[in-house]
Structure 1
Amino acid sequence: MSPPDAPADAVPAPLPDFGSGTRPDPGVDGSAGGAGRSTDHEDTLDLRLPDELIALFDAGPSSAAAAAAAAAGPASGTDPVAGHGQLAPGDSAGLPASGTSAGDDLLDGVAEWGPITTPAGPFQLVPVRVERDLPLICRWMNDPAVAAFWELAGPQNVTEDHLRSQLGGDRRSVPCLGVLEGVLMSYWEIYRADLDPLARHYPARPHDTGIHLLLGAVSDRGRGLGSALLRAVADLVLDKRPACARVIAEPDLRNIPSVTAFLSAGFRFSAEMDLPAKRAALVIRDRSLRDLM
């Protein structure tokens, strides 16, 4: 999903886990901050269900069924695309998607997070409106460089089904367009990794928040833009979600530019993971290390 921000042969070496003790265990590092933490043993899974997941089942059979059905969905990859667009008159970047607010999703109101300043200019996440955004997103998904990782190429209904499954679900994933200086130039998914099927494959912690990114035009690639936006959005998540201690991502290991972009954005390499559709790199941006990386 993320853009190629460095040559393929310029991938930095995996960053070491911070901590005391012996050489880090080769398994998944689940430490929230790393600093001062012993690496003599693996972290273990916290088996307590998050309060939000418990609430879904307390709400009744229909909500529980919806949660179970959503849990069967695949995790997406990350990659670059081609195409730019602009917001139409009246579609202000500050307007949330219809029906989306802080009270009806599990991500503290992404629609209300507002604009941020980045090295590339003012940037904002705008929740997707299918009627407005489907043609653009579908065109991006049909770029061959994207299709190899997202696997959403084809007619518009393929992309539409993917978007509506998120918009009509429990809102543990919010699909967004990235607007840079008024230009629609990227597609993002901000999701609750601890409530996602991904949580079966790593030591998830409550409120872990994941990022998927698909960058726009060829002109936006290879110049550090993806890394700059990934860093800015990860820090935005940490600022707007006080309960979240870690932002995570799982780019395909074959997608060297994507892995490079995340590492350049202050994420640390934690482990390799075998997911249903890919072998991925688990990368983590820790709240406690954000000022150091």
Structure 2
Amino acid sequence: MPPTDASTDAGTAPRTGARDRTGSGTDSQDTLDLRLPDDFLALFAGGAETGATGEDLLDGVGDWGPKATPVGAFQLVPVRIDRDLPLITRWMNDPAVAAFWELSGPGTATQEHLRAQLDGDGRSVPCLGLLDGTPMSYWEIYRADLDPLARHYPARLHDTGIHLLIGGVAHRGRGLGTILLRAVSDLVLDRRPSCARVVAEPDLRNTPSVSAFLSAGFRFSAEVELPDKKAALMVRDRALRDLL
């Protein structure tokens, strides 16, 4: 049994077939016809949401700055492959992480996973999580409304999703998952005024993960049948952030 926080964080890994945020995933579910709301279609007109206009789809994650937490100052720093690949590869080869992320191996799988996001249109940004300046977690901040996940729940414009893992064993089992989930979802809501909800989809069987999200101010919205798992759709609403 992996440590509690290992289960919590690995359980928010991207689902198989949705790793490539550029839309080149191979899962057949991603090619289903989908009737998008008119406001979604308007955004795609003329390439507005594909980076053709230079628009930042996530409002400058790299400029969000630090967030004070009970365990120290936390900050998201966008990944640089030349600097960060060895560290992230080591984390991906931890058995507790590999069971969910399926990116273990010599590093090519992890590199391809990162490169697909970095070379994409900006709808997903891979980041290191620094606690008091020390890299200790990996995050993906992504536009859930522009992700294949949107085919499986009633997405709203600018819904923002998160995936995460806590890297070092020394940082697990200390309740950090809950603290950091609240901190990062606060950052999203503070820095993305157009975003009304932060969402995540941990494996429904991963009770520690679901519990961590609930403790971080998320609510359980629904069971969602994804291509590779039954997920718990967890939602943190801007309107409820001070109540939960």
* TM-score (ref. length: structure 2): 0.82
Question: Which residue among 160, 185, 189 is the counterpart of 2:136?
Answer: 185
Report whether the alignment pairs 1:124 with 2:114. no
Aligned residue among 221, 234, 238 for 1:287: 238
1:13-32 alignment to 2 at 5 Å? none
Asked if structure 1 preserves the Cα contact closer than 8 Å seen for 2:124 and 2:140, the reply is: yes
Change (3 A) 1:59 1:289: closer
> Comparing both structures, which one devotes a greater share of its residues to helix?
2
Cα 1:158/1:203, change in 2 over 3 Å? same
Structure 1 stretches (4+) deviating beyond 3 angstroms? Answer: 5-8
TM-score (ref. length: structure 1): 0.68
1:162 to 102, 113, 132: 113
Deviations 1:201-230 (A, max 9, x none): 000000000010111222222221110010
On the 8 A contact 2:7/2:206 being kept in 1, the answer is: no
Structure 2 residue corresponding to 1:208, chosen from 119, 135, 159:
159
Q: How does 1:75-114 map to 2 (within 5 A)?
A: 104-114=55-65
- CA shift at 1:254, angstroms? 2.4
Matched, 1:139 2:129: no
User: Hey, what does 2:47 align to over in structure 1?
Assistant: 59
Tell me the SS of whatever aligns to 1:59: helix
| Partner Cα separation in structure 1 for residue 201 and residue 7 of structure 2 | 20
> 1:5–1:260: 8 Å Cα contact kept in structure 2?
no
- More deviation, 251-260/161-170: 251-260
User: Residues 196 and 52 from structure 1, CA distance in 2 versus in 1: closer, same or farther, beyond 3 angstroms?
Assistant: farther
Match of 1:17? Answer: none
**Alpha-carbon RMSD:** 2.5
Q: Residues 51 and 109 of structure 1: is their aligned pair in 2 closer, same or farther, counting only changes over 3 Å? A: farther
> How many residues are treated as equivalent by the alignment?
215
Contact 2:81–2:111, Cα closer than 8 Å, also in 1: yes
Q: Return the offset for 1:116.
A: 1.2
* Counterpart contact for 1:7–1:257, Cα < 8 Å: yes
CA distance in structure 1 between the partners assigned to 2:234 and 2:168 by the alignment? 25
2:205 counterpart of 1:259:
no
In the alignment, structure 1 segments of 5+ residues that lack a partner are: 9-44, 68-102
The aligned residue for residue 229 of structure 2 is 278
Is the Cα–Cα contact under 8 Å of residues 178 and 213 in structure 2 kept in the other structure?
A: yes
Residue in structure 2 matched with residue 227 of structure 1 by the alignment: 178
> 3-state SS of the aligned residue for 1:237?
helix
CA contact (8 A) 1:7 1:222 kept: no
- The corresponding residue for 1:236 is 187
CA distance in 1, matches of 2:95, 2:80: 24
Contact 2:5-2:166 at 8 Å conserved across structures: no
Choose 1 or 2 for highest CA Rg: 1
2:49 aligned with 1:48:
no
| Counterpart contact for 1:126–1:176, Cα < 8 Å | yes
**Residue 4 in structure 1 maps to residue 34 in structure 2:** no
